[in-house]
Amino acid sequence: MKLSALWREQWPQCRPLADGLKHAYPDRWVRFHSLPESQRYPGTDAEYEIVLDRYNTVLDELFGGQEVWIVTADWSGSSEPPELSERHALWNPGAQHWATVRANESETDPEFIVYTQLYAGRRRWRTGLVDRLLRAVADEVAAHVMIASLSFDRVHHPYDGGADVLLPTTSERDELKRRHADWLSAHPSGF
């Protein structure tokens, strides 16, 4: 089964961009902050250690020993995918182009249309596997990253400041929230 078909099977209400999942599937979504007191950006080595520890702790719980999809993104003004950039090849070795998604659907001027190019690589999960990529996310150098189960029913979407996690059921989501309650936002909507 192709990746796009797997995505549509799990997330039919959302394009293959993880940032839309929290709105389309709020009953399966939880957000964890990367640093205490919802601090957004790490500034010291100790803070980077906390960020990577939190990312890896959740990733280990979701995918320990399993194969996963690692999805990275690039942007272009053409629907034709460019070659995988050097930095993406470093972050996601062996990745292949998966999909092209128009990033700004409402834009009508061709000069300003932007496409998100998604690249997916399949690897066996282990702690620290994508630390270089996660650090790039924390530094706002990488975005639209996903680490997902092979069926796409579990998605970890790190962003600068935390991670959105989507699970197959509300009860699984609630159990993960309970285990890491100290990492949740104090905001009533969970953001």
What pLDDT does 1 receive?
Answer: 55
Confidence of residue 103 (pLDDT cuts 50, 70, 90): confident
Residues 190 and 184: beta-carbon distance below 8 Å: yes
- Please report which helix (H) or strand (E) contains residue 72, including its range: strand 67-76
pTM greater than 0.85 (yes/no): yes
| Side-chain half-sphere CA neighbours of 190 within 13 A | 16
pLDDT digits (tens, 9 = 90+) for 108-144: 787 888 999 999 999 999 999 999 999 999 999 999 9
The overall average pLDDT reported for the chain is: 93
The answer to whether residue 68 scores a pLDDT higher than 90 is yes
What pLDDT does 71 receive?
Answer: 97
pLDDT digits (tens, 9 = 90+) for 10-25: 999 999 999 999 999 9
Helix/strand/coil for 68: strand
